[in-house]
Structure 1
Amino acid sequence: MDDRKPIKPGLKLALELGPIAAFFIAYLMLREHVFTIAGRDYDGFVLATAGFIPLILLTTGLLWRLTGHVSKMQVATAVLVVVFGGLTVWLNDERFFKMKPTIIYALFAGVLGVGLLRGQSYLQFVMEEMVPMQRAGWMILTRRLTGFFAGLAVLNEVIWRTMSTDMWVNFKTFGLTIAIFLFFMTQGKLFEKYGIEASKKDGV
């Protein structure tokens, strides 16, 4: 039984991307400042990260409250934000938060890769109801997405280790979002070739 509740697409998008936009704005406002709290100096990046942690938990909770469902990907992201964001604030070291996307995408690539080695598409288990498609199509999409996630993990490592914090924040806010959007936009022919019409899926 599916207990999911309908939610307006605009509201869902706002809850998913809102924390990222808020982090970006907070960073722009605070990046030139250093704040002394309890005898320790914190730069704007660390404080923006501190605000991002409760915000991602709040929006994830609201999504669950409004829809009755939160994806495993969203849960994993929230957990890693708390862990690596918390380490960033606690140790006053921005490197931990910058590593977070690497861990997330490497984790996703690893999980999908394990499924492929077992001859399965874990992606199909998660998204089949939203995107009805033949098994062959799911296997192709899973292989492509595994490589894509692995590439994003490597790219994040290269950018945060070799470029400025400003460049990394822009990459995290815009680059990753645009890359994921473009990836799925380029899979149109795959969905068209292997897609299953709703009528056929229901046996009509």
Structure 2
Amino acid sequence: MAGQPINPTLKMVLEFGPLVLFFVGYLRLRDELLMIGGQEYKGFIVVTAAFIPLMVLSSLALWRLTGHISKMQIGTLVIVILFGGLSVWFNDERFFKMKPTILYVTLGSALGVGLLKGQSYLKLMIEELMPLQDAGWMILTRRLCVFFFALAVANELIWRTQSTDTWVYFKTFGLSLAMFAFFMTQARVFQAYALPDAEVDDAE
């Protein structure tokens, strides 16, 4: 079942749908205080509680449809469950706001450890998405390692100094656009170190 093709639109909906619903839910409930089980919760916490099962269901759907889920997706899901759950359990939005920081520090550190060993752990995580020569993977890994740490710093600055509204916009649009812009700027690496078609076929 591994590697089954999936409609690109459906894939995008499953990957970004939970984040979009989180954003929409936050806009609707951000000024609300809801009484649940005798405890008062801000709209942010309620939306966070709904976001966690949405992420789990979308990840399971992707795995069911494609027969595959990347290590990066698994790691992201674990961190969402952990820090989202802590926010709900302690009724404290700070845990969920720290989630991107922990995620990017974890990813950056993992890539850094691999680089110290002369390996590209990025290749191990997403090789099936971007077939590249080893030299290309090393260049991309070094750049992405630095980029992940930069995103972690940016998230810390935003959530600690700005309003919750600003952080939600940053998380929903800023981080996604930053990742998109990063990979777009790496076009020369993809072109220069792309594997010949024959090698791609052999790898598959």
TM-based fold match above 0.5: yes
Structure 1 CA distance for aligned equivalents of residues 178 and 64 of structure 2:
29
Give yes or no for contact 2:31–2:43 (8 Å, CA) kept in 1. Answer: yes
Residue aligning to 1:108 = 107
- CA displacement 1:23-52 (0-9 Å, x = unmatched): 000000000110111221111100000100
Moved more, 49-58 or 191-200: 191-200
Residue aligning to 2:89 = 90
Equivalent residue pairs, number:
202
Query: Where do 1:119-158 residues align within 5 Å?
Result: 119-158=118-157
Give yes or no for contact 2:6–2:65 (8 Å, CA) kept in 1. Answer: yes
Give yes or no for contact 1:132–1:197 (8 Å, CA) kept in 2. Answer: no
Query: Where do 1:51-200 residues align within 5 Å?
Result: 51-200=50-199
The answer for unaligned runs of 5 or more in structure 1 is none
State the Cα distance separating 1:173 from its structure 2 match.
0.1
- CA displacement 1:59-78 (0-9 Å, x = unmatched): 01111111111111111111
The answer for unaligned runs of 5 or more in structure 2 is none
Q: Secondary structure at the match of 1:69?
A: coil
Give yes or no for contact 2:72–2:125 (8 Å, CA) kept in 1. Answer: no
Structure 2 CA distance for aligned equivalents of residues 201 and 8 of structure 1:
22
Quote the RMSD (CA, aligned, Å). Answer: 1.3
Post-superposition, which runs of at least 4 consecutive aligned residues in structure 1 deviate over 6 A?
none
Structure 2 CA distance for aligned equivalents of residues 77 and 129 of structure 1:
18
Structure 1 CA distance for aligned equivalents of residues 52 and 2 of structure 2:
28
Give yes or no for contact 1:50–1:86 (8 Å, CA) kept in 2. Answer: yes
Residue aligning to 2:30 = 31
Moved more, 15-24 or 67-76: 67-76
State the Cα distance separating 1:124 from its structure 2 match.
1.5
Letter of the structure 1 residue corresponding to residue 113 of structure 2: V
TM-score normalized with structure 2 length: 0.95
State the Cα distance separating 1:137 from its structure 2 match.
1.0
Structure 2 CA distance for aligned equivalents of residues 124 and 164 of structure 1:
37
Identity %: 58
Residue aligning to 1:11 = 10
Structure 2 CA distance for aligned equivalents of residues 12 and 115 of structure 1:
29
State the Cα distance separating 1:129 from its structure 2 match.
3.1
TM-score normalized with structure 1 length: 0.95
